[in-house]
């Protein structure tokens, strides 16, 4: 598996990241173990999660995904350095607000390390902007964790171009290391938030980019084409807004490229992301081995310039 450098973080990862948001939600522990075995068995190595996953599921409080990953890592017997663990901090875990204070980060990293059953996190991300906390304080906490060997590299998620630049300016002024990676929302449908100034800033500053909602909550898998298709599905409510003229244009373009390549819509949507110069790797999740097998194929799919142009136009 050809790996890609994740910006300036010093990490190299395969071009697809497994999204651990499904663990403890739509995938129980046994299923999650099978998915992780198959994913890493296919040559991939990066797994994304967060302390808050999957608090939204009935009966959950957060930490379920990290716990399952930690149990899998222990059970699998895999060498720790064969897996790149990515997790996030800063969501509301019951404290009533998003929190990137130094005190909270230093406290919450210990909880994540315990759940993951490891002595270090490869990439630790500030999950959301926190207007209450200065960038300097957050960066100081991350830098302390790197110095202590508990984190190898750190980055951010959900920052726009102005916020990311402000974090760079704060780091430079305080003599602190910068965020080295970014996790933005980006897919064939949702493009405005990343394309343009943010993507250009990431390329200019060599920031590693791993995209979330890479399949638009499953819409780009092609299995949701009408309101009727969303009924009774765990993610159905998340795709309703995509069922508009733009969404239909994108599905039609995916179908046309699929007719040329023999690939499924999800494989094409992920390959489109992998072909973008500002993107290191998309994040995608699966809840069955059949779904995972399809996702894995995306890393070997090479889209032609005409295919990419057609997809660009459909989602413009």
Q: Which positions are annotated as active-site residues?
A: 53
C-alpha span between 162 and 25 (Å, rounded)? 34
- 3 state SS of 63: coil
Helices (H) and strands (E) in the chain, counts: 11, 10
Question: In 3-state terms, the chain is what percent helix, strand and coil (to 5)?
Answer: 45, 15, 40
Q: Which helix (H) or strand (E) holds 177?
A: none
Per-residue tokens: 52: 């808050």
CA distances from 6 to 205, 213, 253 (A): 12, 19, 30
CB-based contact 123:83 (threshold 8 Å): no
The set of long-range contacts for 274-278, using a CB threshold of 8 Å and a minimum separation of 24, is: 274/15, 274/16, 274/298, 274/299, 275/303, 275/308, 276/199, 277/203, 278/194, 278/199, 278/200, 278/202, 278/203, 278/209
CB-based contact 313:272 (threshold 8 Å): no
């Amino acid at each position: 598996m050809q790996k890609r450098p994740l910006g300036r973080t010093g990490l190299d990862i395969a071009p697809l990241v497994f999204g651990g948001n499904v663990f403890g939600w739509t995938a129980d522990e046994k299923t999650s173990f099978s998915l992780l075995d198959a994913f890493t068995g296919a040559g991939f190595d990066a797994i994304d999660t967060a302390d808050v996953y999957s608090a939204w599921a009935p009966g959950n409080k957060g930490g379920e995904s990290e716990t399952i990953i930690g149990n899998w890592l222990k059970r699998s017997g895999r060498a720790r350095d064969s897996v790149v663990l990515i997790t996030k901090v800063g969501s509301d875990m019951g404290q009533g607000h998003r929190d990137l204070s130094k005190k909270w980060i230093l406290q919450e990293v210990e909880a994540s390390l315990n759940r993951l059953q490891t002595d270090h996190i490869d990439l630790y991300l500030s999950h959301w902007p926190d207007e209450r906390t200065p960038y300097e304080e957050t960066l100081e906490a991350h830098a302390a964790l790197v110095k202590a060997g508990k984190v190898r590299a750190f980055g951010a998620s959900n920052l726009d171009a102005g916020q990311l630049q402000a974090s760079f300016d704060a780091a430079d002024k305080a003599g602190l290391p910068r965020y080295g990676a970014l996790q933005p929302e980006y897919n064939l449908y949702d493009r405005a938030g990343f394309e343009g100034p943010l993507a250009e800033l990431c390329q200019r500053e060599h920031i590693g980019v791993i995209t979330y909602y890479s399949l638009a909550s499953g819409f780009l898998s092609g299995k949701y084409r009408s309101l009727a298709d969303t009924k009774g599905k765990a993610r159905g409510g998340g795709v309703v807004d995509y069922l508009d003229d733009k969404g239909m244009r994108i599905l039609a373009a995916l179908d046309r490229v699929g007719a040329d390549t023999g690939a499924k819509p999800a494989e094409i949507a992920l390959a489109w992301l992998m072909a973008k110069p500002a993107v290191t790797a998309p994040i995608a999740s699966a809840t069955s081995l059949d779904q995972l097998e399809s996702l894995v194929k995306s890393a070997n799919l090479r889209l032609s310039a005409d295919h990419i142009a057609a997809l660009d136009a459909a989602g413009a």
